[in-house]
Structure 1
């Protein structure tokens, strides 16, 4: 059955899944029409909701662009390449490569989602250089599958939000410590089960693909490397651009700030700090400004999908929120729930909402108050309800190209190349997560 399903989903996705940009456009049309039908909003109102929300994710778009660019720059540095090469040598066969990439990306995503999203794809590319006979499509899909664990991990926006004093729902549910969310028994069961089953699932799928896609390792090299080695320093400007001292000074300033941030201020990882780490390590590891800038130029070429598509998702989110569609959908699942099924149905509803509002924090701000108020009325654990929203948000990322864009850009693949495999991950992980909420 696993073989049949893997082949079926791969064929369907390869044939019918459009480019992520068109996927965003199609979702826009669906939400536009659904808003008119289900909420009574007029077409003009839906257009207004869409246009008003269109630029609401600009700062986040820039953050994600920098995740891609700074991560790529860091990975292309000689020092980091040697680290990735050493790790990649742990795997000796294509099957071991699939398992290793899945496990590393899962752990990295559990620590921090921005870190895991980039590191998984970069590590997969390095594995492909070392083991060229690994199925490249499945390898990148395996790297992306690890992203599934992010919202149950240390940087999950929902558990960290409800654990923060004076959060926006404190008057309703109080402050919920991470011992009841991230480190609760049901959440640890889900995380550990996924850490064990995802690598095995991806390894099994490598036996069932019809056409293994291999990649020439030379195609994964950075085009600017040869240029960097042959630069002549004929002018003062050339000497500045190739000054090791300049990179060392500015890079050291960045490292000093990070030490102060983590040690003196007791800071934690967030998306801005991950980008800061990647950026300044990249500056130091490339040694000279010219080598650093050459790598940046290569990296920026891959960022187009993020820059142009994220505003469309902000527009979709604007329609979902302003028209009341997100609230109506959540209330429907509340109406068919009881004390036993409520966490499970909250998880399912969050997975559906995530298709149209693929932002964990944004989705929780909309759906969280509805579901948590209902959990209090039903006598259901609010911590479990909050994590059900978190896992639902994370779950359908497997078939929502929004979050795959950085990994795809790094890998040089299309969404249709990996989404067939990710559909299988969605099904299996959905069963595991559901057990966590129904049994515990």
Structure 2
């Protein structure tokens, strides 16, 4: 929605940033078309390296489109329930209070990077939502702030999600008996968080990335008001005001809609289930648990059923672009995992990097190959199912720590997200911008995180 942004007289950042921002604005198509182009590239590469049988290719692509539907609905509900929590009165007031602290553009960028990073480490869906809501609140408050770089900074905080508590790969390898626990299937090992996200070689790079993102964005930001792409603050205020309106008639139906014990009943049932599972030692913090937790918390924070319903349905518009693209990425994943004669495109890409790896460089080349594969499979869990069966046996043969191998894949999946529009779609849907508005800045976030995570894939093997 370009009309949200004013057109600056000229780009006010440095020339290097201006070059990449200009490229994105001029040549980067809508995110849907990006997915279409990736589909064609994946189909061509699969035809070259796996099979040229057009019917086999189309079959794999078509089946892949629908195999992703369960995951797609899970992602949609994580986004919408998380958004609804953030739009509840208590959380909204907290975020609004935090948004009132920055007094200028530099402070705003620092605040949104740190807040979104912390939120993403807690849960990736919550991180995306918090970043978007913070951007809207700050955009309404500050006149002299470039809205596009503000939103980009919020998305930059998402870079650390794969190192946090909701890391799909860390959760997969820590769950005994999970179909996605490739490590256990190959080696018999179940890797708890103490061997993945709670290690020093995962925590230190996270801290470095968050700390260095702040001066990076200060370096990129436009310095003068006439160079800034400003948001229509009146439009944001009007949208939030309209979303907050709720009139319920004083009728039997209206009273039922305001009957708060109904919210407590659903939330209580969810927490009762969680407690029973924890007591039995069977609780798994998976995607479904995240959705249920957000649902229960949101119901309590909104207090009345009608308040929750209106907030939830009001946020549903953010899912439109994502719903359109999920089937295409499912099709791409179907092509990537298509195996003919023991050969798949994902395996072929991974093998290219394995060919020149040893016990000290294996994690680094795993990380690099993960970045490449993530362009085609931007889902952490789906990515691991594709790349894990190649990397885990190779790590076993070379004597490489399996926790580092899993995290190298996770890091690569996270860094590639900065130039892969898939995960930017939720935040863009909430703030009302397009992918070309922020992608130019994402190149620099990718460069910083790639350098830091890549360095630790080379350092860690000497201490394991």
Superposition RMSD in Å: 2.5
Q: Does 1:14 align with 2:6?
A: no
Q: CA deviation at 1:412?
A: 1.0
Q: Match of 1:320?
A: 336
Q: Match of 2:202?
A: 187
CA distance in 2, matches of 1:249, 1:163: 32
Q: CA deviation at 1:303?
A: 1.3
Q: Match of 2:320?
A: 304
Match of 2:165 among 144, 154, 163: 154
Match of 1:213 among 222, 225, 229: 229
Name which of structure 1's ranges 108-117 and 371-380 shifts more when overlaid on structure 2.
371-380
2:422 is paired with a residue whose SS is helix
Mapping for residues 32-431 of structure 1, pairs under 5 Å: 32-166=43-177, 167-170=181-184, 172-173=186-187, 174-207=189-222, 211-220=227-236, 221-222=239-240, 224-225=242-243, 227-228=245-246, 230-233=247-250, 235-241=251-257, 243-250=258-265, 253=268, 256-257=271-272, 260=275, 264=279, 267=283, 269-323=285-339, 324-431=344-451
CA distance in 1, matches of 2:280, 2:91: 28
Name which of structure 1's ranges 264-273 and 5-14 shifts more when overlaid on structure 2.
264-273
TM-score, L = length of structure 1: 0.91
Consecutive unaligned residues of structure 2, counting only runs of 5 or more, are 1-12
Q: Does 1:439 align with 2:459?
A: yes
CA distance in 1, matches of 2:89, 2:296: 14
CA distance in 1, matches of 2:265, 2:242: 22
Task: Encode CA deviations 1:151-205: one digit per residue, 9 max, x unaligned.
Answer: 1222222233333334443253323343232222322221111121122212322
Task: Encode CA deviations 1:114-163: one digit per residue, 9 max, x unaligned.
Answer: 22122222222222223243221111111111111111222222233333
Name which of structure 1's ranges 68-77 and 85-94 shifts more when overlaid on structure 2.
68-77
Task: Encode CA deviations 1:53-77: one digit per residue, 9 max, x unaligned.
Answer: 1111111211222223223323333
Name which of structure 1's ranges 310-319 and 263-272 shifts more when overlaid on structure 2.
263-272
CA distance in 2, matches of 1:308, 1:263: 37
Name which of structure 1's ranges 418-427 and 62-71 shifts more when overlaid on structure 2.
62-71
1:40 is paired with a residue whose SS is coil
Name which of structure 1's ranges 81-90 and 343-352 shifts more when overlaid on structure 2.
81-90
Contact 1:404 1:415 in 2 (8 A): yes
Name which of structure 1's ranges 351-360 and 40-49 shifts more when overlaid on structure 2.
40-49
Consecutive unaligned residues of structure 1, counting only runs of 5 or more, are none
TM-score, L = length of structure 2: 0.87
Q: CA deviation at 1:424?
A: 1.0
